[in-house]
Amino acid sequence: MRLFRSIATFLLPVLAVIAFQQDASAAGRGYYLTQATMAAYYVVVTLGLALLMGHAGQVSLGHGAFFALGGYTSAILTTRPLDLPPAAERTLSALGCVLRAEDAAGVPQLVVAPPAAFAAALLLTLAVALLVGYPTLRLRGYYLAMATLGFGLIVYRVLLGTPFTGAADGIHGVPGWSFGGAFTLCGRRDHRVANYYFAWGAALLTLLLLRNLIRSRFGRALAAIHDHETAAGAMGVNTAACKLQAFVVSALLAAAAGVFATHFNGGIGPSEAGALKSVRYVALVAAGGMGNLPGVLAASAGLTFLSLRDAFGTYDDAVFGAILIAVVTWAPQGPLEPLGRALRGLAAWRPARREAARRGAA
Amino acid sequence: MALLEIRGLRRRFGGLRALDGVALDVEAGCIQGIIGPNGAGKTTLFNVLSGLLPPSGGSVRLDGREIAGLPPHRIAARGLGRTFQTVCLFDRMSALENVMVGLHRRGRAGLAAAALRLPWQRAEERRLAAEAAEWLAFAGVADLADRPAAALSFGRRRLVELARALAARPRLLLLDEPASGLNPRETAELAAIVRRTRDRGVTVLLVEHDMSLVMDVCDRVLALHFGVPIAAGTPAEIQADPRVIAVYLGEEAGHAAG
């Protein structure tokens, strides 16, 4: 049964990812892959948020800001020319920290290499997440939601009002991230299929790692805190530290997705940090069933893809608000939960019949 | 030196003195009962001892080291375990997983080891599961390991909670009204488990309303009244103590009048 579920959790998404690419390419709709790639990066954000919301019982209303924090850090570092003495340039370039790249006008300039920028983005996010999470997660209740909401609003306004971050235009001309010639993380058309598989590989890897995490000592501690924080503390669980770890992991995933998406798009704008973006992530996690990671993956992949294809038109944000209200009202466990129950019931039905037959015979 | 030394312990809620100068020595290997009418401060005492409430004053030493005012997980790490009057199981987990939370501090695996399912982390998980199963067996509920905690009867929930507290291998175990809600047969089972627990070297602090259980298992008893200790001694001495009788008769008379 457990094996069956593991197969269903990983084999089905892998097959779906391959089938989508095959279909889209065969139907001459290769451009679908661009939106599907972006959807995968948003899935990474929502999976991380599902760890926080569904397992640690905390809400972040600032995950858009963490996505933007990662994206902007990488965008700034990989586009702004550095002025280094030749010796420093030689050393750092040998370490792979800097490289010479052409800017939008084709002028070669010295910039931070994408892997180093990625590391810097994660370090900065780590520091910010600790700063926001540490004071609020020591308390009980939804202080994290308030703190992250405030943090998100600040990040959005700062990005929007600061010329250094490109103000309303954001940052453009972000170079691709070349993985040693074999693969380049970028939005060029001839790299579309590879980028699609890279993004979905990242999303499925996130699913796998988080699934392992919630089935461990750490996952049990989180579930214990979620069910009964007092009892968890009395059992020796450092509740504040566990909640903080879950929040940091979740923020780092959002930032990593932001870095990847920025290199893929070749830029990032302030709307990524907007409160509506953050609320959208919360709605997607709710639509997937909170802690139900495969459910969150399916719901957020489907809905973000439709949104990116402009299926909801001008009602885009309203649709996600409506989803949030509908889920909370009618299916707090997530709309996929009744479906899962039905499937489990179907699986249990056959052994139950056999059992009944055996009893009848005896 | 006593395992637990409580001196002048006070806890106020606004103007109410829930604990007012509680002093108690609990010798290692002893079953110490704490009795008193409702509102005597018994549960407040447990909450202060286990760190859920900070004390307003006084000192609590476990094995000679001050624990008053530490956060709950640090006190648990010093070897103090507890159960709750209302039974606080983690309802979304199985009985076995509940006990594995009790083993939390015995595991080492961090985030990276767990996410990557490193071989030693998997071995540790198996070891923790096996040990949790042993503690369920010790509490006589080995057969419930895979049942969801929410689906267990009240009496079974108490025993799973006890197994969870014992799994942390506390030196001092606080049991908050463990017999409330149990039928006489379950209470007798519980008394036997409490004695077996003591025989394994765990010192037990027992708050209980069921006088027959207190008189049956306790070596020493402390009587509290409005947060003040009024008598301490062997169960026989306490039963004969005129102040204790007055407090309990007073309460009875109060109930009769009300």
Is A92 inside any structural domain? Answer: no
Task: Return the exposure string of A90-111: e unless at least 16 CB atoms fall within 10 Å of the residue's CB, then b.
Answer: eebeeeebbbebeeeeeeeebb
User: B139 exposed, middle or buried (CB, 10 Å; 0-12, 13-18, 19+)?
Assistant: buried
**Amino acid, res. A285:** V
Is A184 inside any structural domain? Answer: yes
User: What is the predicted pLDDT for the residue at A10?
Assistant: 83
Of B52, B77, B111, which is closest to A245 when you measure between CB atoms? B111
Is A89 inside any structural domain? Answer: no
Instruction: Give the pLDDT band (50/70/90) at residue B37.
Output: confident
Is B55 inside any structural domain? Answer: yes
- Same-domain status, B251 and B203: yes
Is B86 inside any structural domain? Answer: no
Q: What element of type H or E holds A110?
A: strand A108-112
Residue count of chain A, please give it: 362
Distance from CA of A252 to the nearest CA of B (A): 13
Q: How far is residue A129's CA from residue A13's CA, in Å, rounded to a whole number? A: 31
B101/A235 Cβ within 8 A: yes
Whether the pLDDT of residue A352 is over 80: the answer is no
Instruction: Give the pLDDT band (50/70/90) at residue A337.
Output: low
**What is the CATH classification number for the domain harbouring A51?**
1.10.3470
- Same-domain status, B105 and B144: yes
Distances (CA, A) of B57 to A110, A124, A150, B60, B139: 63, 43, 38, 10, 36
- Give the residue numbers spanning the domain of A7: 2-79+113-351
- Same-domain status, B75 and B104: no
B199: which 2 tokens? 């025989």
Q: What is the DSSP string of chain B?
A: --SEEEEEEEEEETTEEEEEEEEEEE-TT-EEEEE-STTSSHHHHHHHHTTSS--SEEEEEETTEE-TT--HHHHHHTTEEE--TT----TTSBHHHHHHHHTGGG----HHHHHTT-HHHHHHHHHHHHHHHHHHHHTT-GGGTTSBGGGS-HHHHHHHHHHHHHHT--SEEEEESTTTT--HHHHHHHHHHHHHHHHTT-EEEEE-S-HHHHHHH-SEEEEEETTEEEEEE-HHHHHH-HHHHHHHHHHHHHHHH-
Whether chain B has a CB inside 8 Å of the CB on A1: the answer is no
Counted domains in chain A: 1
- Same-domain status, B250 and B123: no
Residues of chain A neighbouring B71 (CB-CB closer than 8 A): 233, 238
Is B236 inside any structural domain? Answer: yes
Is A359 inside any structural domain? Answer: no
Cα A165 from chain centroid? 23
- Give the residue numbers spanning the domain of B220: 4-79+170-257
Distance from CA of A122 to the nearest CA of B (A): 16
Residues of chain B neighbouring A230 (CB-CB closer than 8 A): 52, 72, 84, 88
- Same-domain status, B75 and B182: yes
pLDDT in tens, B179-222: 988 899 999 999 999 999 999 999 999 998 888 899 889 999 99
User: Scanning the structure block, which residue is given the tokens 């129950």?
Assistant: A341
Starting at the edge strand found earlier in the chain, the sheet holding B220-225 runs B80-82, B172-176, B203-207, B31-35, B220-225, B228-233
Q: Residues B220, B224, B227, B229: what is their CA dihedral angle, to the nearest 10 degrees?
A: -60
Least confident range of A260-274, A312-326, B67-81: A312-326
- Same-domain status, B187 and B111: no
Phi, psi at residue B241, to the nearest 5°?
-70, 125
User: What is the predicted pLDDT for the residue at B256?
Assistant: 46
Quickly count: other Cβ atoms within 10 Å of residue A135's Cβ. 12
A218/B101 Cβ within 8 A: no
Whether the pLDDT of residue A191 is over 80: the answer is yes
Is B85 inside any structural domain? Answer: no
**What is the CATH classification number for the domain harbouring B221?**
3.40.50.300
Is B87 inside any structural domain? Answer: no
B109/A218 Cβ within 8 A: yes
The three-state secondary structure class of A45 is helix
Mean pLDDT of the region B83-96: 93
Comparing alpha-carbon positions, the chain A residue that sits nearest to B76 is A236
Counted domains in chain B: 2
What DSSP designation does A30 have? T
Q: How far is residue A72's CA from residue B65's CA, in Å, rounded to a whole number? A: 50
- Of B131, B158, B185, which residue constitutes the final position of a domain? B158
Whether the pLDDT of residue B173 is over 80: the answer is yes
User: What is the predicted pLDDT for the residue at B57?
Assistant: 94
Comparing alpha-carbon positions, the chain B residue that sits nearest to A222 is B101
Whether chain B has a CB inside 8 Å of the CB on A256: the answer is no
Is A103 inside any structural domain? Answer: no
Distance from CA of A155 to the nearest CA of B (A): 28
Is A179 inside any structural domain? Answer: yes
B105/A234 Cβ within 8 A: no
Q: Indicate the angle between helix axes A192-214 and A32-50, nearest 10 degrees.
A: 10
Is A99 inside any structural domain? Answer: no
Residues of chain B neighbouring A249 (CB-CB closer than 8 A): 111
Give the residue from A213, A216, A244 with the most B CB atoms within 10 Å of its CB, the best one to mutate: A216
Q: How far is residue B150's CA from residue A223's CA, in Å, rounded to a whole number? A: 14
A201: which 2 tokens? 């590989």
Q: Which of the pair, A359 or B72, is modelled with greater confidence?
A: B72
Cα B102 from chain centroid? 13
Q: Give me chain A's average pLDDT, please.
A: 90
Whether chain B has a CB inside 8 Å of the CB on A126: the answer is no
Is A252 inside any structural domain? Answer: yes
- Same-domain status, B174 and B73: yes
pLDDT in tens, A56-86: 999 999 999 999 999 999 999 999 999 888 9
Whether chain B has a CB inside 8 Å of the CB on A238: the answer is yes
Least confident range of A185-189, A217-221, A351-355, B123-127: A351-355
- Of B108, B129, B158, which residue constitutes the final position of a domain? B158
| A134 Cβ contact list (under 8 Å, min separation 6) | A244
